[in-house]
Chain A
Amino acid sequence: MQISMTVNGSEFTSEIEPRVLLVHYIREVLGLTGTHWGCDTSNCGTCVVLMDGQPVKSCTVLAAMAAGHDIRTVEGLATGGTLDPVQQGFMEEHGLQCGFCTPGMMLTARALLDKNPHPDDAEIRQAISGQICRCTGYATIVRSVQWAAAHPAGTGWDGADTAVPDVAPETADTDAEVKA
């Protein structure tokens, strides 16, 4: 069947089998491999993307069901080369280690902050409770989201001039540092 959807602001049209999961469509058809797949029972949330601004587990959505919808993945979090405050927050507060849960966590955090710009720690924990992280023990993820809440985009923090000096060259403007 033919489907069309908007992913990170661009329109994509593809011929797919009806049974193809959105996570596989994003990863394998569109080549956006930042979205991960960590379980087969819809528990882990490493596949979370935003569908019309709401976090969904893309392993539990058929690509066909996402047709006509607006999808945002981790690759679409930064805008115009500027990191989303959530991305910056995860780096500032060491909210990631292996990085496998990170894309899903950040998208959930983005959706939370869009709805509730000043969540308390309990609200953050509740928001990410559908997602498992094996490395961080969550406390630094909570701190990362709080960092992002304290540095909203468009309120003085523009992604280049952070509260902490000396932004890395590699955080400034390039997507080219994929490890061989």
Chain B
Amino acid sequence: MTVIHDRPSNPAPGDEDRPIGYGRIQRKEDPRFVRGKGHYLDDIVLPGMLHGAILRAPVAHARLVSIDTTNALAHPKVVAVITGKDLLGLKLAWAPTLSADVQAVLVTDKVRFQGQEVAFVVAEDRYAARDALELIEVEYDILPPLVDARKALDPDAPVIRDEIEGRTDNRIFDWEIGDKAETDAVFASADVVVSQEVVYPRVHPAPMETCGAVADFDAVNGKLTLYETTQAPHAHRTLFAIVAGIPEHKIRIVSPDIGGGFGNKVGIYPGYILAVVGSIVSGRPVKWVEDRSENLMSTSFARDYIMQGEIAATKDGKILALRTHVLADHGAFNATAQPTKNPAGFFSIFTGSYDLQAAHCSVTGVYTNKAPGGVAYACSFRVTEAVYLVERMVDVLARKLNMDPAELRLKNFIRPEQFPYANKTGWVYDSGNYAAALRLSMELAGYEDLRREQAEKRERGELMGIGVAFFTEVVGAGPRKHFDIVGLGMADGAELRVHPTGKAVVRISVQSQGQGHETTFAQIVAEELGIPPEDIDVVHGDTDQTPFGLGTYGSRSTPVSGGAVALVARKVREKAKLIAGAMLETRPEDLEWEKGRWFVKGDPGAGKTIAEIAMGAHGTVALPEGVDGNLDAEVTYDPPNLTFPFGAYICVVDVDPGTGQVKVRRFIAVDDCGTRINPMIIEGQVHGGLTDGVGMALMEIIEFDEAGNCLAGSFMDYLIPTAMEVPDWETGFTVTPSPHHPIGAKGIGESATVGSPPAIVNAVVDALAPLGVTHMDMPCTPARVWAAMQGRARPPI
């Protein structure tokens, strides 16, 4: 491992960076990846393995009349064809979702979205499995589809979930938080009220590696080994025990190297269950790997929130209150991945970074004839939507008051001395110094110069926009008394063993998909125990080998599992102190710690290193009373609160007045995630998230036509930024540690995805302001920007 000592990550004024555990070190994952020796799902080959493929519905809403599998079964390489009828017999036709709804594994009664799973072929190779799909004949009786969420609650809307007894409409839930009467009263007496419909369109996380599974059911021992692209292997094990009826100790979930997750790989998809059924039926391992079109059309989408935002303020720009109603399109099944008590995720953080007198929001979730999902794509449980709404609304207010958007934000920030800050919807923000971050961002951007340049360009008719966004994230779910996923409390375990020669293995419950956990978790242990990171292996992703925990999503790894790892290392350190006392024949309370070593107070020469203590613990040293030998420990960490990282983003765009094409010229991102473990990895996380933001703000959308056809079912139409569409990112940071976290660290992974879309859209709207544009919805494609320039801005479908 290369330790880079003299390369500052983000040289910034007032640098208070104190990265821990050797700081900016190279990743332990890289050597295998750069050699093509990663081990991803589709690289797995087991003896006798078969291949599965899914027949998918060509229409969005239709009664299933009949399926004829005769010709497919006659294919010489086909081993089995499974239909919904077969699954009904096994009680597996429907599976519980993460939102207490059910989802069809294979269609039994009717199709509810285009691309839905209809039948499963198991064959000797992947080409034959695809061939056989063509040989299945299905008859459908087409029904009118419901595509527009705004019409979902109309009396004449087709009822999508008519299989649920007594259901006569498409309403999934109504949820609200905040004091409505108090909020309404503030609005009634405010000088200024602005309102704006703000749509966050349906997008898709689209990890480069699609979803897949290899199921290997051992009938003799009754044991299921399931290799899966999963971000939450332990939760999957429990859910599979419940769904498939296999005892949990007979299920081993293995999550190998994952080619990106971005929230796409949290839930259980029908394909995973079908691979298991295929393996049970055939008695052989079965691999199922979806293609890109299947991934885009049937796995978890993100966003799809239609938000009515309102903001009340005084005429000199003091923001008083926020209120909003959201119409949430959840698709045909409510499979949203989020804590049980939060049907709209953490949307209630929509009060943002501002000190308000009142706030209220309500969310109505509805079914439509579309794929399920909602929470994905680095959203931190709907924080993307919340931040987009408030940051767009603050800009709408700034325009109305003719105030500079940065100045308006500075005027309304929660001040450092107000933390911990209880907002009006039940969150207690842990720490923050917002003005410092925004001022740094403005300084890095040369904000005043940019505004002058813009004024000059406007004189010449050029369209230059400067977008400001400031966000407060909420990540690290969470305290188990408040947060659970299908009843599983959101704590995380960690187990640490120091081997006799002083090398260590730490086993964690979360699952990297590229975030560098194998490196950074070793750094946390290195910081706490003084063992170099290269002498520490991080084990994750195998439920037989790792302690229970809820997995990686919602930027929760550092806040929860990172806390667990720091605490387990401290537990080992304390145990080492007792053993060192025995070895040095002194009382433990007479020992002092310096990194990597316990020594006798006042006698620095008399000490034992962690490696010496480990050898003693495993050797013949007479151990003190109550010490059971070996140098190891385990903990489960139930965090006292979430962490609230924040950031100040400034985006500069140029809009081509002739075509409406938006070019992101500069993007300045200042993030504060408290204590920084590895600045290099943080920077990479931020760069990736900013690119998501450019994608969502300018290019990405999943639309449907009136017949319910998905119009973005491949990379031909679902556009993702390449190296040509993004600038060279400019990053900076401040450090405001989380007071309740064992090492002061907050999550960071999703911050840039959360914070960048409003900065970009605010910049586009700012560029178009001379043309009278006050709002436009994403994506700001040339055609949509052009329409806005002509006064015809419209919401996406």
Contact = CB atoms under 8 A, between A and B. Distances in A.
Interface of A: 17, 19-20, 24, 27, 31-41, 43-44, 46, 73-75, 77-78, 83, 87, 90-92, 94, 96-103, 106, 121, 124-126, 128-142, 162, 164-171, 175, 177-180
Given A32-B36, A136-B684, 6 more contacts: A43-B716, A90-B34, A96-B34, A99-B33, A125-B723, A137-B686
Nearest to B691: A137
B680 A132 contact: no
6 contacts: A33-B40, A35-B36, A99-B34, A132-B722, A134-B207, A138-B687
B31 A40 contact: no
Interface in B15-65: 26-40, 42-43, 45
Contacts of B256: 179
B34 A132 contact: no
B691 A99 contact: no
Contacts of A75: 35-37
Closest 4 CB pairs of A and B: A34-B36, A98-B514, A100-B259, A99-B33
A91 B292 contact: no
A92 B2 CA distance: 8
B164 interface: no
Interface range on chain B (Cβ under 8 Å from partner): 35 or more
A106 B516 CA distance: 20
B4 interface: yes
Interface stretch (B93-101, B274-282, B645-653, B724-732): B724-732
A168 B534 contact: yes
Contacts of A101: 208
A140 B688 CA distance: 10
A50 to B, nearest CB: 13
Given A34-B38, A166-B2, A170-B31, A179 B257 contact: yes
A5 to B, nearest CB: 18
Contacts of A180: 39, 542
Contacts of A40: 291-293, 714
Nearest to A128: B723
B37 A169 contact: no
B263 to A, nearest CB: 12
A138 B687 CA distance: 8
B252 to A, nearest CB: 13
A74 B726 contact: no
B688 A134 contact: yes
B129 to A, nearest CB: 13
B35 A165 contact: no
A91 B724 contact: no
B291 A142 contact: no
Interface string B682-701: 01111111110000000000
A113 B259 CA distance: 26
Contact of B684 (A126, A134, A140, A166): A140
Interface string B708-740: 000000111000101110101100000000000
B37 A121 contact: no
B728 A99 contact: no
B209 interface: yes
B26 A92 contact: yes
Given A125-B723, A136-B684, A142-B723, A36 B691 contact: no
A102 B723 contact: no
B208 A96 contact: no
Contacts of A73: 36
A162 to B, nearest CB: 8
Contact of A167 (B2, B33, B722): B2
A17 B258 CA distance: 30
B723 A38 contact: no
A72 to B, nearest CB: 11
B260 A134 contact: yes
A97 B716 contact: no
Contacts of B33: 96, 99, 102
Nearest to B687: A137
B292 A41 contact: yes
Contact of A131 (B28, B683, B685, B722): B722
Given A98-B514, A100-B208, A178-B37, A141 B259 contact: no
A43 B715 contact: yes
B30 A96 contact: yes
Contacts of B516: 97
B229 to A, nearest CB: 11
Nearest to A104: B208
A78 B728 CA distance: 29
Contacts of A34: 35-38
B531 to A, nearest CB: 16
B196 interface: no
Residue in B34, B35, B209, B691 with the greatest tally of chain A CB atoms within 10 Å: B34
A96 B4 CA distance: 17
A136 B681 CA distance: 10
Contact of A102 (B34, B258, B728): B34
Contacts of B36: 32-35, 73-75, 103
Contacts of B28: 170
Contacts of A128: 722-723
A171 B690 CA distance: 30
B726 A138 contact: yes
B523 interface: no
B31 A91 contact: yes
A91 B26 contact: yes
B262 interface: yes
Contact of A87 (B34, B685, B724, B728): B34
B175 to A, nearest CB: 31
A28 to B, nearest CB: 8
A91 B3 CA distance: 12
B729 A139 contact: yes
Contacts of A46: 208
Nearest to A137: B687
